[in-house]
Every structure is written in structure tokens, then in C-alpha cells.
Chains A and B, each alone.
Chain A
Amino acid sequence: MPQHTVKAYGDELNQLTAEVARMGGLAEAQVADAVDSVARRDVALARAVVERDARLDAMHRDIERKAIRLIALRQPVASDLRRTLASMKLAMDLERTGDLAKNIAKRGLILAEGEPVQPLTRSIERMGKLVSMRLRDVLDAYAAAEVDRAIAVWNTDDEVDEHYNALFRELLTYMMGDPRTITAGTHLLFMAKNLERIGDHATNIAETIYYEITGQEFTGERPRWNPDAAEAAPEPPTPV
């Protein structure tokens, strides 16, 4: 697409997108670090994650302010408007993701004080890796503005749910077997829930990306994104 005639306008839009991408990178790091700190019982890392969350909140406020300024002063329309709104929604999703990661890290701190519960933390680690990967993929899709990759992430939402359900059953079984593990198990349950919610946020981000690029709302039907050929993506399952 050609440049905006008024270069400052184009620059402001690019800056907004870049900020969102930076925020995404930071959120991605938070999730990865939080899961890591739980798996390795790394107290210092968990503390670092908790502290860095403030940065994410600041970035969220900054992006919101920039977006409002853009709307007030530039009156964006069409793709520019969708881009601005998408930035705000993404910032919100990423800020929530950061909060959830902080929560995981906090619980990791508590877990680290007790006995190690190795098999369970390994499951969390696996789920965390999946969630992390999806987050990274969807942020890559945002940065590259590729709607196919976003749809691909959207399609794998069920995998996260599968992991969650499996983890839920595993934890229940574990807790029922040994009541001393209930405390740890509950924390792990919450962690699993947080990870599942991070997965939802990644799916939301995928929907927002779809809207930004195509201008159409994601209705959950068969998404048809390919203006050149009639090649359609596989039927996505109804999201939970």
C-alpha cells in the first residue's frame, strides 16, 4: 500500500503498531518466564516477572492514550481505523495476559517454598509451552499482518482446552490420592486455569487480527480468507 500523503500520520500509525508489538514481546516473555520459574522453581525469575508487570500496565495506558490521540486528531477511517481499534483491543488482551502470567509467577513463588511436585509441574510446563507457542505465533501473525497464521492459531484453541481438561483430571486424581498435595494441587489448578485463559486471549487476538485485516467480524463460521482463489481454511470447531 502506498504511503500516507501526510507522513506524520503514517508514522504515528506505525509507531502505534510497533508499540503493540513490543508489548506483545514483553507479554510473551512474561508467560514463558512465569512457566519456566514454576518448572525450575526459580524464585528470582518469578520475582522478576512480578516486577515487570508494571511495565506492561504502563505500556497499555500509553497505547490507549496514543490511540485516542490518533482518533481525535487524525480521524482515521477504514483500514486505519481498524488498525487503531485493533491496537487498543490487543493492548487490553496483552495486559490481561501479563496479569495472568504475574499470577502464575506468584503461585510459583508459593510452590517453590514447598515440596517439589515434579510430574505435575511437567504437565504445567507442557501446557505452558503450547500456550506460549500460540501466543508467539499469533503475535508473529500480527507483526507480519498475515491473516492465515492468525486463523491457524484460532483453530488450535481446542488443543488448549484438551490440555486443560487433562490437567484438571490429573490434578484431581492426584489430590484425591494424597491430601497433603491439595495446597500445591490447588495452586497448580489455578495456574492451569490461568494458562487456559491466556490461550483464550491468544484466540481473541487472532479474531482481532482477522477483523483488522479483512474488515469482517469473525463469526465463527467457515472463514474464507483468500481473495485470489476459492481455497478455504478447514472448518474450525466452535470455540468453547
Chain B
Amino acid sequence: MKFNLFRAADGTEGGAPAGTPVIAAPPVVHNSTPMGPTKIAARDVSVFYGEKQALFDVSLDIPDKTVTALIGPSGCGKSTFLRTMNRMNDTIPGARVTGRIEMDGADINAKSVDPVLLRARVGMVFQKPNPFPKSIYENVAYGPRIHGLAASKGELDSVVEASLKRAGLWEEVADRLHSPGTGLSGGQQQRLVIARAIAVEPEVILMDEPCSALDPIATARIEELIDELRERYCIVIVTHSMAQAARVSQRTAFFHLGRLVETGDTEDIFTNPRERRTLDYITGRFG
């Protein structure tokens, strides 16, 4: 890698011609997709589990084609907030959501919105990989099947292949698509779950601590995958590892005791946060 950019064409030394020297273009950085417009806008969102309030008036904008990280200590409400975005809190008896959450400008909690359809647009990946106890093919094909997205077997095959390729799993499983999904390693299972989620072509992918059950190498692969997926999808990731939030996200939101404390560009949050609490948390001065 020689950067002899200031030699004269005849190779003489020190005799660089007068005038502005030519500076070669820098190498292209992988995935420099710019942040998109706001995909999900939350306004004054509160969540109650029975009498207990878990979130207090959270207002947050999630931009498209971006990874937004939600960080904070245990029990601060980041997972609860994540689950409001695909209405998974509806499945918990006694849970109540107030406030307004809009996706592309439309309220997702409106009576006319079917949560089943919403969850085809907003996919979710959980902490512990949970592939169905079926074959790898069946796992990925499940979503397109139940939503009627593939017209024929051939189409379904190509959707499965494309999803597995995009999740970076195709090479490893192409020859054993019909073996059980539960027979894969932890990292592979998580990638399978991601393939399953993207098979329905969602617009948003929610990830709840997707790497906390994985070893560092599997974690790095998932992080690279998230970086690639960002070009197509809006990704929101809850993580208890600040280092991961720093590595993986472009926007970060810090939650504490059910409230949103600070939100901003990841670089700013991790070099010079505005709030004292944020600074204390990320430097490990909490408690």
C-alpha cells in the first residue's frame, strides 16, 4: 500500500512540481447509507402492567435505514418500549399502553389496525434464539406461508433462499435445509431467526438483546449482519452492552427508571453526552 502521491511523473526525488498536489480518493467505507426519514414516532407513550407503570411519557423518533440502540440499566423500560412498537404487550394480560405511536404517520394502536398485520411489517428477534422445532426450510417459510406471500412452491423456495443468503446463513445450511432448526449452534440459530423475520419483508426489525446468549465470534457476525441489514430496514436494538450499542448503532437512546433521559447520535452520546445521568451510566459511575 504505497502512497507515493507526491512524486513527479518522471520519478525525480524532491522535485515535486509546484501547485496543488493530487490527493487520491480515500477508500470507500463499508455501508455509508445515510439516515432515512423518521419511520416510527412515539409521543408521550406510557405503559402500565396492571397498577404498576413501567414507562413514563416517552417521546422518541426512530429514523429509517438506521440502527437505533436503546440502552439503560436493568428494569429501565427499554424492552417494554421495544415491545410497544409491534404491540407484543397486547399479549400480556393486564398491560395497557397510552400515548401515540405512529409508523409512517399512522397510529399503530388504532382500533382499525390488526396487530397480526402490524407484526408482518415489524419483525422481532428475541434474546434466546427460538427457532420453531421444525426444519430450517419450514422455519423460514413459516411467515410467508401464514401471510400468503408466496404464490407457488418455487416462489417460496426463492424467498427462503434469499432470506437465508441475506442473513448470512445460506452457505452453511444449503445442503441440509430439511434438518431441524434446533440442531444448529447458538449463533446459527440466531441468524436463522433473523432470516425467518426478514422472510416476510418487514419494514422494521426489533431486536431484544440478540447477542446476549452468544459467544464473541457469533456476536461479531451478528453485528456485521445488522450493519448490512441497515441498508434495507429500520432496526431498533435493545442491548445491555454499551460497547455493543457504540459499535452497532447510529442513534442511541438512554432510558432510566422508565423514562427517556437522552437521545442523540451515537458518536455524540459516547464522546460527550449532554445529561449527567447518561455520562454516569456510560462511564460506569452508576449506583
Does A associate with B in a complex? yes
| Residue in contact with A11 in the complex, picked from B4, B30, B243, CB distance below 8 Å | B30
- Given A8-B31, A14-B27, A26-B6, A73–B247 Cβ distance below 8 Å? yes
Mark interface residues in A26-39 (1 if CB within 8 Å of B CB, else 0). Answer: 10110011011000
Mark interface residues in B247-287 (1 if CB within 8 Å of A CB, else 0). Answer: 10000000000000000001100110000000000000000
Chain B residues in 8 Å Cβ range of A144:
1-2
Output the nearest chain A residue to B242 by Cβ-Cβ distance. A75
* Docked CA distance A29–B17 (Å): 9
Output the nearest chain A residue to B20 by Cβ-Cβ distance. A52
* Docked CA distance A36–B227 (Å): 49
The reply to whether the CB of A148 lies closer than 8 angstroms to some CB of chain B is no
Within A27-62, which residues are at the interface with B (CB < 8 Å)? 28-29, 32-33, 35-36, 42, 44-45, 48, 52
B2 in contact with A33 (CB, 8 Å): no
B8-16, B134-142, B145-153: which lies at the A interface? Answer: B8-16
- The number of residues on chain B lying at the interface, defined by a beta carbon within 8 Å of a beta carbon of chain A, is 35
* Docked CA distance A68–B270 (Å): 10
Mark interface residues in B1-40 (1 if CB within 8 Å of A CB, else 0). Answer: 1111110000001111011110110111111000000000
B57-65, B76-84, B174-182, B218-226: which lies at the A interface? Answer: B218-226
* Docked CA distance A22–B247 (Å): 27
Within A97-153, which residues are at the interface with B (CB < 8 Å)? 128-129, 132-133, 136, 139-140, 143-144
A132 in contact with B13 (CB, 8 Å): yes
B246 in contact with A32 (CB, 8 Å): no
B271 in contact with A24 (CB, 8 Å): no
* Docked CA distance A28–B5 (Å): 10
The reply to whether the CB of A222 lies closer than 8 angstroms to some CB of chain B is no
The reply to whether the CB of B217 lies closer than 8 angstroms to some CB of chain A is yes
* Docked CA distance A99–B19 (Å): 18
* Docked CA distance A33–B6 (Å): 11
Q: In the complex, which of the residues A12, A29, A69, A133 has the most CB atoms of chain B within 10 Å of its own CB atom? A: A29
* Docked CA distance A28–B243 (Å): 38
The reply to whether the CB of A21 lies closer than 8 angstroms to some CB of chain B is yes
A133 in contact with B223 (CB, 8 Å): no
Chain B residues in 8 Å Cβ range of A186:
none
B29 in contact with A15 (CB, 8 Å): yes
| Residue in contact with B4 in the complex, picked from A25, A52, A129, CB distance below 8 Å | A25
Interchain nearest-CB distance for B171 vs A (Å):
15
| Residue in contact with A48 in the complex, picked from B18, B223, B227, CB distance below 8 Å | B18
Output the nearest chain A residue to B267 by Cβ-Cβ distance. A69
* Docked CA distance A33–B14 (Å): 7
A5 in contact with B217 (CB, 8 Å): yes
- Given A36-B14, A133-B13, A25–B6 Cβ distance below 8 Å? yes
The reply to whether the CB of A72 lies closer than 8 angstroms to some CB of chain B is yes
The reply to whether the CB of A176 lies closer than 8 angstroms to some CB of chain B is no
- Given A33-B18, A35-B14, A73-B267, A7–B247 Cβ distance below 8 Å? no
Within B223-244, which residues are at the interface with A (CB < 8 Å)? 223-224, 227, 243
Chain B residues in 8 Å Cβ range of A73:
246-247, 266-267, 270
- Given A26-B21, A75-B246, A11–B5 Cβ distance below 8 Å? no
A15 in contact with B247 (CB, 8 Å): no
* Docked CA distance A36–B18 (Å): 10
- Given A5-B224, A7-B224, A72-B267, A32–B247 Cβ distance below 8 Å? no
B224 in contact with A6 (CB, 8 Å): yes
Within B157-189, which residues are at the interface with A (CB < 8 Å)? none
The reply to whether the CB of A172 lies closer than 8 angstroms to some CB of chain B is no
B19 in contact with A68 (CB, 8 Å): no
Chain A residues in 8 Å Cβ range of B14:
32, 35-36, 128-129, 132
A74 in contact with B29 (CB, 8 Å): no
Identify 6 new A-B residue pairs, CB closer than 8 A, beyond the known A44-B18, A73-B266, A139-B3: A6-B224, A11-B28, A21-B1, A22-B24, A74-B247, A128-B14
6 A-B contact pairs sorted by A residue (CB < 8 Å) = A11-B28, A11-B29, A15-B29, A18-B3, A36-B14, A136-B13
Closest 3 CB pairs of A and B: A5-B220, A21-B3, A29-B6
